Chains A and B, each alone.
Chain A
Amino acid sequence: MRRRVLLNVGVPILSLLIVLGVWQLIVVGGHVASYIAPRPREAITSVTSQWSTLWPLILGTIRETIYGYLIGAVLGFALGVVMAKIPVVQRLVYPVILVSQAVPVIALAPVLVIILGFGIVPKIVIVTWIVFFPVTVNVLDGLGHVDPDLKNLARVYGASRWRTFVQIEVPASTTPLFSGLKIGAIYAVTGAIIGELAASEGNSLALYQEHANSNLNTAAVYGTTIVMTLIGIAWFLLVVGLEVWSTPWQRRSVARRRWRRGADGAAR
């Protein structure tokens, strides 16, 4: 157990430290000017010293990411289900969602601003736009690959389509579903930042970075990038945590004790 924790937590931290070390080595060893690349410590200090200014902006980005992600995940799942169940819908909708993803999001942003203004809505729309696609594709794929024998077994038992869906098809698709959710989680922050770049009025993490850039405050540019990255990683890890929590059978051989109402639990 301890060994596993060491492997799962220690090794990723180690690899990040190596990246920071290499960065330090290049900047110091290569005599890179600090306006081109700061040392890691300078980048980090630029964030901590401006924390009270940055924190509300970070919260703003997180909010856009969460709202957009949740809407995108739900929409993506629903779309995947409807497309998997109704072939006509799949044929009609698939080209449209493919085109939607071929549109460069960065080009789409100004259009959304024209339609939706400068508030939080266009950012949420962009995050949703990016997140739903991997979820839909993976759900569609997952539902399409449920063992037909298992579905037949449900039929022989006299199961309704709804119960077959809930009890068999959805749980059988959890692995691809979470693949989609994880890909979406990593891209969600990118979407929020693109939205902020195109549709902000001076009060966002992306614009903070732009100001730092125009003031030749390279350390802050790097520092802000690190912050954005950390938001993305945190969100990704949260989704991974949700996957681990909701799929115990993939790691355990014996189920945890279940908290069930009534006398049943006591009878064990």
Chain B
Amino acid sequence: MPTTLLELREVGKVFGDTVALAPTSLAIEEGSFVAIVGPSGCGKSTMFNVIAGLLRPDGGEVALRGATITASTGHVGYMLQKDLLVPWRTVEDNITMATRLTRRVTDEDRAEARRVARQYGLGEFLRHYPSALSGGMRQRVAFMRTLVTHQELLLLDEPFGALDAQTRLEMQEWLLQVWKDTGRTVLFITHDVDESIFLSDRIVVMSPRPGRVVADLANPLSRPRGIHTLLEPEFIALKAQVLGLLHGGDA
């Protein structure tokens, strides 16, 4: 019986007259990779900000390992499409940035940052400033910064949305590798259906006006996944199903 890591209970948020997120319940299992897919305005970012503790929901509760974390921060790893690396810190110091924001960075923290960077192909760039890196490399640094927070739950909000198709595919495979190595739980927002299927164990489909969950699908595709996955009949079938849900059944 898998353990529930994160649980949303009837969490909703209204901005003015707009129901950004209708009361929603969702349970995320420990170690799973869950994709949330939906068009803009479907409330997925609102849901993220509620889970991250940046937004206080109008009602409901957010629980991590059974303990409520509603509207409180410091409990999850968090990464956006914008890498948010600070230009005045080197790659190494950007990786330890989360630590620096809460306490003094120790030699162990730095050693860990270097180890992670070496393991995932950025060992040569530890003393570089972010301005010297490509978009894909910057996103990798941002992900390592998220990783070394040692949070069990990683919230990734369209982290590869700004990358070109080629780099994006590389980053997706890279992310799956890191996820396999570290055993973290990932909640991954995207509006790219292919990406959501390629990465996840489970796909939560959302729809706007009001923002709500319209389907929660198990992803039957086997792992490890690669380019071949994109051509499998199960992939195509799942894609047709998700597209149908997103476009009101006319797919």
Chain A residues near B (Cβ < 8 Å): 147, 149-150, 152-160, 163-164, 167-168, 171-172, 174, 247, 249-250, 252-255, 257, 262-264, 267
Q: Which residues of A contact B75 (CB under 8 A)?
A: 158
Q: Are A247 and B88 in contact (CB-based, < 8 A)?
A: yes
Known: A156-B73, A263-B107. A149 touches B128 (CB 8 A): no
Known: A156-B54, A156-B78. A149 touches B101 (CB 8 A): no
Q: Are B52 and A156 in contact (CB-based, < 8 A)?
A: yes
Known: A156-B54, A157-B73, A254-B132. A171 touches B86 (CB 8 A): yes
Q: Which residues of A contact B73 (CB under 8 A)?
A: 155-158
Q: Which residues of B contact A164 (CB under 8 A)?
A: 101
Q: Which residues of B contact A250 (CB under 8 A)?
A: 87
Q: Which residues of B contact A168 (CB under 8 A)?
A: 86, 101
Q: Are A255 and B54 in contact (CB-based, < 8 A)?
A: no
Partner of B101, one of A154, A172, A255, A263: A154
Q: Are A152 and B111 in contact (CB-based, < 8 A)?
A: no
Closest CB pairs A-B (n = 5): A158-B74, A253-B132, A159-B101, A156-B78, A249-B129
Known: A157-B149, A171-B86, A171-B88. A252 touches B53 (CB 8 A): no
Q: Is B80 on the interface with A (CB-CB < 8 A)?
A: yes
**Least Cβ distance of B92 to chain A in Å?**
9
Q: Is B229 on the interface with A (CB-CB < 8 A)?
A: no
Partner of B90, one of A150, A152, A154, A255: A255
Q: Are A157 and B101 in contact (CB-based, < 8 A)?
A: yes
Q: Which residues of B contact A156 (CB under 8 A)?
A: 52-54, 73-74, 76, 78
B interface residues, how many (CB within 8 angstroms): 30
**Least Cβ distance of A175 to chain B in Å?**
10
**Least Cβ distance of A189 to chain B in Å?**
31
Count of chain A to chain B residue pairs whose CB atoms are closer than 8 Å in the complex: 77
Q: Is B127 on the interface with A (CB-CB < 8 A)?
A: yes
Q: Which residues of B contact A253 (CB under 8 A)?
A: 128-129, 131-132
The residue on A at minimum CB distance from B108 is: A264
Give 13 pairs: A residue, B residue, CB < 8 Å, sorted on A.
Answer: A149-B84, A153-B78, A153-B84, A155-B73, A157-B73, A158-B73, A158-B75, A158-B101, A163-B100, A164-B101, A168-B86, A254-B129, A255-B127
Q: Are A147 and B84 in contact (CB-based, < 8 A)?
A: yes
**Least Cβ distance of B109 to chain A in Å?**
10
Q: Which residues of A contact B84 (CB under 8 A)?
A: 147, 149-150, 153
| Additional pairs, 11, CB under 8 Å, beyond known A158-B75, A253-B132, A255-B127 | A153-B84, A157-B78, A163-B101, A163-B102, A171-B88, A249-B87, A249-B129, A253-B128, A257-B127, A263-B107, A264-B107
Q: Which residues of A contact B98 (CB under 8 A)?
A: 157
**Least Cβ distance of B187 to chain A in Å?**
13
Q: Are B127 and A254 in contact (CB-based, < 8 A)?
A: yes
**Least Cβ distance of A145 to chain B in Å?**
14
Give A168 to B76 CA distance when docked, in angstroms: 20
Give A252 to B90 CA distance when docked, in angstroms: 11
Q: Which residues of A contact B80 (CB under 8 A)?
A: 149, 153
Query: Per-position contact with A for B109-125: 1 when CB-CB < 8 Å, else 0?
Result: 01100000000000000
**Least Cβ distance of B88 to chain A in Å?**
5
Q: Is B82 on the interface with A (CB-CB < 8 A)?
A: yes
Q: Which residues of B contact A155 (CB under 8 A)?
A: 53-54, 73
Q: Are A152 and B74 in contact (CB-based, < 8 A)?
A: no
Q: Which residues of A contact B52 (CB under 8 A)?
A: 156
Give A253 to B128 CA distance when docked, in angstroms: 6
Known: A157-B102, A167-B101. A255 touches B128 (CB 8 A): yes
Q: Which residues of B contact A252 (CB under 8 A)?
A: 129
**Least Cβ distance of B81 to chain A in Å?**
10
Give A156 to B97 CA distance when docked, in angstroms: 12
Known: A155-B54, A254-B128, A254-B129. A174 touches B76 (CB 8 A): no
From A147, A155, A249, A252, name the one whose CB has the most chain B CB atoms within 10 angstroms: A249
